[in-house]
Structure 1
Amino acid sequence: MQHQKTWTTVGIAAAVVAVAAIGVPLVTGATGSDAVPAAATHTPAATAAAVPSVPSVGAATLAALPEARYSAVVAGLLPVDHTVGSAEVFHLRTDAPLFGDDRQHPVARFASRDFLAQPTTVVGLRREGAWELVLTPARQELPSRASGHAAAQTAAWLPAAALEQVSTPTEHVVISTAAQTVSIVDASGKVVQRFAAGIGTADTPTPTGVTGYLEQRYVDPAQGTGDHPIQLTSLHSSASDEPYGGSDGGLIGLHWNAAASGAVSHGCVRLSAEAVAAVDALPLGTLVTVE
């Protein structure tokens, strides 16, 4: 995100609750791998391997895990380096543990309430037995520790029993850095609306070839965006730890700016008032793909 001193001033309302052990029989399905699968489906793929059962995580263990929030860096998360075609949207019944590839040792937790004390939006990519592969708003690695490039999006495995499904968006956002446009696209692939956009410069580029989601939105005139809601995504800068300074984790947002065209930003996507209003009308959890 291109704006300073925003995230540290917002309180989090997240009660740490024990996640009950979920006993499930071993079922046939695809197992995890180092590469997060590009295909998004909630039908388990049939393989010879068994899906691991969900281990018990006690309240104390859960509370001690780092929260997977926009400013966190959690090495055990799975890097996402591709685009996603479809997903489902959930809220959390309670705080829940997040697991890496082995699905045996929790690496982080999802708080049931986000930094605005609203229900956390969870985007699920695939169901496997008692597990859901979900996108997270945290980083897996900082660019400064990854030879100048790090994954813009991360994922993790979460116990499906902690999820409560909500309405899944029927449209998604496509950002073209080559054309410098933002499009709202329906389920059939038809472009419903298209707007000019300002993207990152060569030194602070907008990450490409990846999909995130609309995580949250709010209004903060102090950031120079007027009364237009800032649209926060789960994506982060791949090239810089903090492109704009501050402590927002290099978060990528879509927001109003008078200069809403050209390669002009620190990685965020600058939009006109009309474009911001169009994105603001989309539900949280809407997929955001950058090409």
Structure 2
Amino acid sequence: TVPHRPVPPVRPTATPTPEVLLVQRSTLWTTVGGVAAAVAAAAIAVPLLTAGGPAPAAVTTHSAAAPSTPVPGVPHVDAAALAALPEAQYSAVVDGLLPWDRTTTAAHVFHLTADAPLFGDGRTAPVARFAKTDFLQQPTTVVGLRRQGPWELVLTPARRQLPSAAGAGGAAAQTAAWVPADLLTAVAAPTARVVVSTTEQSVSIVSASTGAVQQHFAAGVGTADTPTPTGVTGYLEERYADPSQGTGEHPIQLTSLHSSAADEPYGGHDGGLIGLHWNATTSGAVSHGCVRLSAEAVAALDALPLGTLVTVE
């Protein structure tokens, strides 16, 4: 069943849809009410800046460690060239982005002063752009991982590769890219982060400084065929309420994570986004990758600022 495309209030032309409202029609997969809404997701960790090798250790700080090789300067990108680049939004697939296959416990949060070019590992030519405002016409939330000279390594809400093209290893559930740091303006850093446990089928809000659990809730997670991605960190990208998706008046919490098991399980074109949203069933391996929560849990997440890290274990 293909869920209808949700239309969040205040949204421009392209709206994320499906499932669970969670985000985008084909990308967040979850069955809601009698209508399949979905927030899909299964994810298989893919190496950070390489295509293979052992999983790197968790990143715990936003550091500016000296690089072992010279840091490239930021190439000039004129307005026409910037406008011609694909936008790194939830439904996009951009080959030049970097796979991010690790967990992160600390990050900085920014807004953009203007549309910004995004660069891959070589940083010689841009591969995509971040728009100054997102699909709800709100300031785009940018999560920074590491500063290196004139650059900031940031997480993006776009995919690098579709699962159907990735082979048995699966596609990266999260991507990263380099952005010129002078186009970023810092906003208040979140004081908490979200931890989803697929084994315990729970969601916890923990202190960003101490790691102490502040709130803990039961959660429904992905099935064996459509697993919720694990061993990776994304962030709360946006939120909106859309009762037509079966989540009632409870805001859908969209994350930057994507399914690495299926392209568009509901036949849409929203990128298989993973969301955290309300559902009557809040336990078991029951979703297409999204995380199903009670009204109380959704309200707790809704109180967190955009840019809050979401780690799935």
The runs of 4+ residues in structure 1 deviating greater than 6 Å are: none
The one-letter code sitting in structure 2 at the alignment partner of 1:153 is Q
**3-state DSSP class of the match of 1:207?**
coil
> Which whole-Å CA distance do the structure 2 matches of 1:157 and 1:3 have between them?
35
Could you tell me which residue of structure 1 aligns to residue 12 of structure 2?
Answer: 11
Structure 2 counterparts to residues 135-154 of structure 1, below 5 A: 135-148=155-168, 149-154=170-175
**3-state DSSP class of the match of 2:296?**
helix
Structure 2 counterparts to residues 249-264 of structure 1, below 5 A: 249-264=271-286
The one-letter code sitting in structure 1 at the alignment partner of 2:59 is A
The one-letter code sitting in structure 2 at the alignment partner of 1:39 is V
Q: 2:267 aligns with which of 227, 245, 253?
A: 245
C-alpha contact (below 8 Å) 1:199/1:264 kept by paired residues: yes
Is structure 2 residue 258 aligned with structure 1 residue 236? yes
RMSD: 2.0
C-alpha contact (below 8 Å) 1:41/1:127 kept by paired residues: no
Structure 2 counterparts to residues 181-200 of structure 1, below 5 A: 181-186=202-207, 187-200=209-222
- CA shift for structure 1 position 247: 2.2
Spell out, residue by residue over 1:130-164, the C-alpha distance to the aligned partner (whole angstroms, 9 max, x if none).
00000000000000000151000000000000001
**3-state DSSP class of the match of 1:133?**
strand
> Which whole-Å CA distance do the structure 2 matches of 1:162 and 1:128 have between them?
14
Spell out, residue by residue over 1:174-230, the C-alpha distance to the aligned partner (whole angstroms, 9 max, x if none).
000000000000020111000000001111110111000000000000000000000
C-alpha contact (below 8 Å) 1:12/1:117 kept by paired residues: no
> Which whole-Å CA distance do the structure 1 matches of 2:167 and 2:49 have between them?
23
Q: Determine what percentage of the aligned residue pairs are the same residue.
A: 70
> Which whole-Å CA distance do the structure 1 matches of 2:242 and 2:83 have between them?
31
Q: 1:129 aligns with which of 130, 149, 160?
A: 149
Q: 2:302 aligns with which of 262, 277, 280?
A: 280
Could you tell me which residue of structure 1 aligns to residue 190 of structure 2?
Answer: 169
- CA shift for structure 1 position 250: 0.3
- CA shift for structure 1 position 258: 0.4
- CA shift for structure 1 position 245: 3.2
C-alpha contact (below 8 Å) 1:243/1:267 kept by paired residues: no
Spell out, residue by residue over 1:228-263, the C-alpha distance to the aligned partner (whole angstroms, 9 max, x if none).
000000000010111333222100000000011111
C-alpha contact (below 8 Å) 1:4/1:244 kept by paired residues: no
> Which whole-Å CA distance do the structure 2 matches of 1:192 and 1:103 have between them?
40
> Which whole-Å CA distance do the structure 2 matches of 1:125 and 1:141 have between them?
21
Could you tell me which residue of structure 1 aligns to residue 111 of structure 2?
Answer: 91
Aligned CA distance change for structure 1 residues 150 and 108 (closer, same or farther; 3 Å) = same
> Which whole-Å CA distance do the structure 2 matches of 1:251 and 1:3 have between them?
14
Aligned CA distance change for structure 1 residues 231 and 270 (closer, same or farther; 3 Å) = same
**3-state DSSP class of the match of 1:173?**
strand
- CA shift for structure 1 position 82: 1.1
Which runs of 5 or more structure 1 residues have no equivalent in the other structure? 14-31
Q: 1:72 aligns with which of 92, 95, 98?
A: 92
Aligned CA distance change for structure 1 residues 43 and 182 (closer, same or farther; 3 Å) = closer
TM-score of the superposition, structure 2-length normalised? 0.83
C-alpha contact (below 8 Å) 2:61/2:105 kept by paired residues: no
The one-letter code sitting in structure 1 at the alignment partner of 2:93 is V
The one-letter code sitting in structure 1 at the alignment partner of 2:134 is D
> Which whole-Å CA distance do the structure 2 matches of 1:151 and 1:108 have between them?
17
> Which whole-Å CA distance do the structure 2 matches of 1:264 and 1:239 have between them?
15
Could you tell me which residue of structure 2 aligns to residue 58 of structure 1?
Answer: 78
Is structure 2 residue 311 aligned with structure 1 residue 289? yes
The one-letter code sitting in structure 2 at the alignment partner of 1:208 is T
The one-letter code sitting in structure 1 at the alignment partner of 2:157 is P
**3-state DSSP class of the match of 2:167?**
coil
Count how many residue pairs are aligned between Structure 1 and Structure 2.
272
> Which whole-Å CA distance do the structure 2 matches of 1:12 and 1:105 have between them?
29
C-alpha contact (below 8 Å) 1:136/1:156 kept by paired residues: yes
Could you tell me which residue of structure 1 aligns to residue 248 of structure 2?
Answer: 226
C-alpha contact (below 8 Å) 2:133/2:139 kept by paired residues: yes
